Amino acid sequence: MPSHFHWIVETDPNRGTISDIMRDLKKFSARDLMDALKNDGKDKLLKLFESSANKYKTQKRKFWMHRFDDKVIRDDAMLITILDYIHYNPVKEGLVMNPEDYRYSSARNYILNDHSKLIVKTEW
């Protein structure tokens, strides 16, 4: 999705929490994205992210929202419901006609057995 992403993550309490994972994902991806914008001369976008950080004393730029939403998947039925929601999100938004048409959707992994863009554990 152009403005957000959904994913299903299996956590291991011995290695960290979902909050730890999201903190690190946001930190390192934002740094990489900001460096890429800087290298590509996208100063206008960099200024936008800098102005977004004005209310945060410890940040120079703000790329990600401050929070994230999470749900604990309790059974196979809930997993299928959430997976369907994720797969049909680009269809609902009018970006594609079919879930598997969206380039960065795991629907491609499940439906087309296409693992060229995303590495997805499809056996559960």
Give the distance from CA 6 to its chain's centroid. Answer: 5
Burial pattern 18-51, b for ≥16 Cβ within 10 A else e, equals eeeeeeeeeeeebeeebeebeeeeeeebbeebee
| pLDDT tens string 6-61 | 999 989 989 999 999 999 998 898 889 888 888 888 888 888 888 888 877 777 78
| pLDDT tens string 57-92 | 777 787 888 788 899 999 999 999 999 999 999 999
